[in-house]
Amino acid sequence: MTILFLSILFSYLGGIFLPLCFPNREFIQNTMAHGLASVACLLGLVLGYEGLTDPEPWHIALSSNIPLLELSLRLDRLAAFFLVMISLVGLATSVYALGYVTEYYGKVSMGTLGSLYNGFLLSMTLVVLADNAFFFLILWELMSVTSYFLVVTEHEKNEVRYAGLFYLVMTHIGTAFIILTFLVLFQNAESFSFEAFRQSGHTVPERLGTVVFLAALIGFGTKAGIVPLHVWLPYAHPTAPSHVSALMSGVMVKTAIYGLIRVYFDFLDGEFPWWWGVVVLVVGTVSALLGVMYALMQHDLKKLLAYSSVENIGIILMGIGAGMIFSAYGFPELAALGIIAGLYHTLNHAVFKSLLFLGAGSLLYATHTRNMEEYGGLLKRMPWTGLFFLIGAVAISALPPTNGFVSEWLIFQNLFLAYQIPDILLDILLPIAAAMLALSGGLALACFAKAFGISFLALPRGSHAKHAQETPIPMRIGLGGLAVMCLVLGMGPIFVIPVLDQVSAEFVGVSVAERILTMDGWALTTANFASVSMPALAIMLLALSGVGLLFAHLLGGKLQSRSYKTWGCGLNVTSRMEYTATGFAQPIKRMFSTVYQPTIKLESEMLEESRYFAKRKHFDSYITPFFQQYLYEPVVNIFLRMSDRLRNMTVAHELNLYLGYVFAALLVVLLLVR
């Protein structure tokens, strides 16, 4: 494994440095950067497979001259699972980028873009392999900084610089809480080694354990995008290049899920009070529901997908939270089911969300806009992109036979099994969470019916959409590979469940794959509560479709066609008669007006000759950014006022006062650390 790891490392390093050696040779820079990234990701898939099948973790360590820092890496089954996910999505985005980044030729430095891209993938790979807290934090910071520079690729735009700054501030707030998590564990273990954390995790006092739990939830939750720490996602993800957006939303936010599982089930040995699981479950439920509700209101396709990531992170946390609750009450089989369901949805979301972001990038490539109101009729002009985007939309809507259905079905079943817990409060809470998951699933279906229908169907509403063309072959290959994975992961849980079972068994101590898989692995069941066979379901859907086509042929006779302009009510149809993204979401906006707090403005300018006839009308409708307006803006205003007062202290006539404050602060610090 060491040779394989070194091959991955040198491939990424080649992708970082070699493109910089060929200035102004954009084709060579593009090919080298993304070609070497593809090679590294292929090798990463092999290394991840080795880690999943090898019974003993792989470990390598190098000493350093820095106290408490050890360059230590460890590949156990949890790290291997996330390595496979990073490499799988990274491979698809790297192939896609070979065609996509041609749009940036002559606009940005291709060598710098390719170098940062490889650095981003390498940092994520090393984050899940790190086995020392100090080393982990360095890699975590490297991942955050490289992603920041990728977000501000088009830094000449004001909105891009603002999004980058917002992301940078939020990610460092999260890092501060992660540092607090590791410092508390260090105080108990007297070492930054992850192995020391594992050995001493069961001895962490209850109060310190609660600090670790909350600090990890806030720290990693900020990177994951849980509500209300999600506000950076709708800014950073849309402004980044689309292949980077796919990595950030599909993979980077999952490193936070990795961190939470590592801390709760590995470092703390899975020993925690039941209310920790309830907190995670409630946070996940709120994130799932509010994430999809805000996604529905977006007309920027990439911003819609960013909010949808908030929803799916919430769904993942619902599975993990339920697993924590069952673990606390001594139901290891049900705890394993919750972890497996959460990890399954982690992988599924990485695949279909990356597919959708790459699809959005293809639309941006072809139309030069992210505004869905200017799309329409793109299915005829971009049939392959439309097909792949449709598969992603079906998968994220959790419809069979795609992968989203399997993982959400497992989470549903896990929540409904709450009746086995001897606590009336949880017997009520978990089914309510299941109902909220069902509601978010229905809203997600409406959301992606809007995303696909408004973008690809009917007539073009913008000049760019009228002249759009299919994207280059590398972009279609990247999309097609992820679309196939959505179907494979959906119809082949027989191959996925045993792998995830091995990951969860390391934490809960029991294997449940044989109980989940029945009929020689071709059907899923949950404690004899419910069962479904994905291959049989897929065959049934295909058969019903075939029967419908057969009846249509038999009843309709020989097919005849006559071409004429589409018309309605005696009028030729134009793009002005279509549903818009605004109109599609209007009923839901009214239904949940308490949450959205919509504002509608209608301005009319009347003709001078008559006040009864309008010369011009302007309509504007927007929703209140609740968390920014009522949570973040007041906090920012407080800090701005404090900084203004501190700035005034530095002027010459108050220099003595300023020095007095510095001296007082120094005394306080000395008293605290003495």
Q: Under a CB-based contact definition with an 8 Å cutoff, are residues 427 and 405 in contact?
A: no
Q: Whole-number mean pLDDT of the chain?
A: 89
Q: Look at residue 153 and tell me if it is in a domain.
A: no
* Model confidence band, residue 240 (pLDDT cutoffs 50, 70, 90): very high
Would you place residue 655 in the very low, low, confident or very high pLDDT band (cuts 50, 70, 90)? low
Q: Is residue 599 part of a domain?
A: yes
Number of domains, the chain: 2
Q: What is the pLDDT of residue 151?
A: 95
Instruction: Please say whether the beta carbons of 319 and 341 come within 8 A.
Output: yes
Residues 642, 616: one domain? no
Mean pLDDT, rounded, for 312-320: 96
In a domain, 619, yes or no: yes
Would you state the pLDDT for residue 589? 86
Of all residues in the chain, the percent with pLDDT exceeding 70 is 96
Residues 444-476: tens digit of each pLDDT: 999 999 999 999 998 888 888 888 999 999 999
Q: Is residue 614 part of a domain?
A: yes
Q: Which residues contact 486 (CB under 8 A, 6 or more apart)?
A: 348, 351, 352, 355, 391, 392, 394, 395, 402, 403, 404
Q: Has residue 485 got a pLDDT over 70?
A: yes
Range of the domain at 604: 593-624
Of 60-64, 163-167, 413-417, 659-663, the range with the lowest mean pLDDT is 659-663
pLDDT tens track for 25-35: 999 999 999 99
**Residue range 245-287, pLDDT digits in tens:** 999 999 999 999 999 999 999 999 888 899 999 999 999 999 9
283: in domain: no
pLDDT tens string 113-163: 999 999 999 999 999 999 999 999 999 999 999 999 999 999 998 999 999
Output the DSSP codes for 558-569: S--------EET
Quote the tokens at residue 387: 């097909």
Residue type, 446: A
3-state SS assignment for residue 615: strand
Tens digits of residue pLDDT in 402-440:
999 999 999 999 999 888 888 888 889 999 999 999 999
- The pLDDT confidence band at residue 89, using thresholds 50, 70 and 90, is very high
Could you give the CA distance from residue 531 to residue 525 in angstroms, rounded to a whole number? 4
The confidence score (pLDDT) of residue 526 equals: 79
Is the distance from CB of 389 to CB of 452 less than 8 angstroms? Answer: yes
How many CB atoms are closer than 10 A to CB 105? 12
First and final CA of the chain: distance in angstroms? 47
State yes or no: pLDDT of 47 exceeds 90: yes
Residues 139/127, Cβ–Cβ less than 8 Å: yes
* Burial (Cβ within 10 Å: 0-12, 13-18, ≥19) of residue 366: buried
Distance CA 361, CA 302 (A): 8
pLDDT at 673 over 70: no
Q: Is residue 610 part of a domain?
A: yes
Residue 618 in 3-state DSSP?
Answer: strand
**Selected residue with higher pLDDT from 506 and 570:** 506
Q: What is the mean pLDDT of residues 552-561?
A: 72
Q: What is the pLDDT of residue 668?
A: 84
Tokens encoding 81: 């699972």
Q: What is the pLDDT of residue 63?
A: 77
- The answer to whether 277 and 322 have CB atoms below 8 angstroms apart is yes
CA separation for the pair 591, 595 (Å, rounded): 9
Confidence bin at 559 (pLDDT 50/70/90): low
> Residue 557: which pLDDT band, with cuts at 50, 70 and 90?
low
Q: Which residues, 6+ apart, have CB-to-CB distance to 509 below 8 Å?
A: 332
pLDDT digits (tens, 9 = 90+) for 197-221: 998 888 888 889 999 999 999 999 9
Number of H helices, E strands in the chain: 28, 9
Q: How far is CA 666 from CA 46, 644, 669, 672, 674, in A?
A: 53, 22, 5, 10, 12
The mean pLDDT value for 627-653 works out to: 75
Least confident of 98-112, 175-189, 614-628, 629-643: 614-628
| 566-603 CB burial, b ≥16 within 10 A, e <16 | eeeeeeeeeeeebebbeebbeebbeebeeebeeeeeee
Q: Which comes out higher in pLDDT, residue 389 or 564?
A: 389
Q: Looking at the predicted structure, is the pLDDT value of residue 174 above 80?
A: yes
648 and 666 housed in the same domain: yes
Q: Is 618 inside any structural domain?
A: yes
d(CA 270, CA 276): 11
Instruction: Supply the pLDDT for residue 630.
Output: 82
410 sits in which H/E element: helix 403-416
Res 620: pLDDT: 74
The reply to whether 617 and 646 lie within a common domain is no
The model's pTM: 0.92
Is the pLDDT reported for residue 295 higher than 90?
yes
370 near 269, Cβ under 8 Å?
A: no
| pLDDT band at residue 477 under the 50/70/90 scheme | very high
The CA distance from 459 to 97, in Å, is 29
Between CA 285 and CA 315 the distance in angstroms is 7
Q: By the 8 A CB rule, do 134 and 192 touch?
A: yes
pLDDT at 650 > cutoff 70? no
Residue 672 has pLDDT above 70, yes or no: no
Do 614 and 636 have their domain in common?
no
**pLDDT tens profile 320-376:** 999 999 999 999 999 999 999 999 999 999 999 999 999 999 999 999 999 998 999
Please list, in sequence order, all residues whose beta carbon lies within 8 angstroms of the beta carbon of residue 17, skipping any fewer than 6 positions away: 115
What pLDDT, on the 0 to 100 scale, is given for residue 178? 95
Given a contact cutoff of 8 angstroms between Cβ atoms, the answer to whether 331 and 228 are in contact is no
Confidence of residue 232 (pLDDT cuts 50, 70, 90): very high
Residue at 427 is within a domain: no
For the ranges 104-108, 260-264, 577-581, the one whose mean pLDDT is highest: 260-264
pLDDT at 241: 95
- Look at 111-120, 158-167, 531-540 and tell me which has the smallest mean pLDDT: 531-540
Cis peptide upstream of residue 228 (ω within 30 degrees of 0): yes
Collapsed DSSP state (helix, strand, coil) of residue 301: helix
3-state helix, strand, coil in the chain (%, to 5): 75, 5, 20
Cα–Cα distances in Å, from 487 out to 315, 317, 331, 399? Answer: 20, 24, 32, 11
